[in-house]
Amino acid sequence: IEIISFYPFLLLWVGEAFIYSQEYLRHYYTLKKEQPLARIKRYLPSFTSKVKDMQSFFGLNTTGSLDSETLEVMSTPRCGVSDVEDYSHNNRVNRWNKNVITYNIGRYTSDLPHSTVDSLIESALSVWARASTLTFVRLRTQRADIMVEFSTFEHGDAYPFDGSKGTLAHAFGPGEGIGGDAHFDDDETWTAGSKGFNLYLVAAHEFGHSLGLRHSQNPESLMYPTYKSSRSSHNLLSKEDISIINSLYGKEETIQQIQTLNNKCSADLSFDAVSTLGDATFFFKDKYLWIKHNQQYDIKEGPINNFMPKIESKIDAAFWVPRRSTAYLIHESMYWTVKGSIVKGKPKPISNFGFPPWVQEVDAAVHIIKTGRTLFFIHDIYYSYNENRRVIDAGYPQYISDDFPGLKSTIDAAVYKDGFIYFFVGPQVYKYDYTQKQVVGTEKANTWLGC
């Protein structure tokens, strides 16, 4: 009683507001657990300091006292990640060392149909894909980079949820194990609209953490800690968000596309992949595409996703299997299946072709109609794949230089036309007689675009 009468403001100790504020500051601003009452004089300055830190973060008056404005912010539903520390792993790695990131959904919420959750999660990831060089691929395994889980209270990660309202979700920074994972409090009411908590809005924020972003003090930023139901679902990212994701993963295609467009007749022009698709030939460079119809002189061109909206990345290799009327477009360790110009389903791992685990990318690919084989070129070796039996032929890989005399460099792209294989190596194209096993001509890559 003497202590309370000596410190009138200590009456708050018995109030719910003070108790809640302690929990809030411990969780989000590293306030240490309170000392016994006898040491209260030592504890209060630390408490006041943390209140000021919180007020400063949210742009409030830094009074250090629990005024109504401060308590209102503290009571607003929010992300469970600390405002001053990250849920980081692997020595504070703040980015993935790759641009194709896998994800999967483990436990679902009962608030929404599974198909709706799938769609909202995919859309939330696309927010970041559109602003960067990242591609997200669903991998139906527990070993995906980003695992999405709906849980309540203690759920195995030392950061228990707190029931309805309060903490909505949290996510861990890039890394192995739990790194990248996003957890959502299933005591909340998850919706696809304005009632309850919009899963798309919350997930887009949490995936920012999964990619390495911290909380922002800018109320316009998607990475602002508190939930804002009024946020536009179309332009979620602020300039700050875009700048940070670009600093982590880069957004190179705008410059590359402009340079490529202006220099398509450059003597140094090269392609990443070339393939026929029906009666047209597709030329891929960075994230740009030219489509040349064999019976026409005009060439359609533009960013790849103008023609194939599902594809946000560059294409490393491509090939066409006529008897299936299907093309396969490869980027790093994943591939898309394309019929006409329609991308069918989700990307799949190239391990489906039977490659050993160390094969994580392909430089070039070409299908030989006469033999029914697809050849995959990787550095200085190649594999022969039997499209009928869907297995790699015995005895492979082989060295490219042994079976293709005259080719001594890494293959950038390859296409089969009129009985010949055309190998693209930098700006040079080698016309190769597959029957005679010899180069029978050379030309510049830009001539294929009419230059």
Binding residues: 79, 111, 145, 155, 157, 162-163, 170, 179, 181, 183, 185-186, 188, 205, 209, 215, 223, 272, 316, 318, 365, 412
Could you tell me where the DSSP H helices lie in 224-343?
A: 239-249, 253-262, 304-307
User: What's the CA gap between 297 and 373, in Å, rounded?
Assistant: 31
Q: How far apart are CA 264 and CA 299, in angstroms?
A: 12
Tell me the one-letter amino acid at 227: Y
Locate 114 and state its tokens: 């599974």
Strands, E assignment, 188-271 = 190-191, 197-198
Beta bridge partners of 442: 430
Q: Which two tokens stand for residue 121?
A: 């999660």
Look up residue 209 and give its amino acid: H
Q: Starting from the edge strand earliest in sequence, which strands make up the sheet with 413-417, in order?
A: 413-417, 420-425, 428-433, 438-444
| CB of 137 closer than 8 Å to CB of 48 | no
**What residues form the annotated binding site for Ca(2+)?**
111, 145, 162-163, 179, 181, 185-186, 188, 272, 316, 318, 365, 412
Q: Are 386 and 352 in contact (CB under 8 A)?
A: no
Query: What tokens does 396 get?
Result: 């492979």
Question: Would residue 177 be called left, alpha or beta, if left means φ above 0 and alpha means ψ between -120 and 50 degrees?
Answer: left
| Residues placed in the known binding site for Zn(2+) | 79, 155, 157, 170, 183, 205, 209, 215, 223
CA distance 270 to 447: 11
Dihedral of CA 398/402/407/410: which sign? Answer: positive
d(CA 100, CA 210): 13
Number of Cα atoms under 13 Å in the Cβ half of residue 291? 14
The single residue of 149, 206, 253, 312 carrying the catalytic annotation is: 206
Q: Read off the tokens for 319.
A: 């090939």
* Separation CA 347–CA 344 (nearest Å): 9
72 is catalytic: no
Active site (catalytic) residues: 206
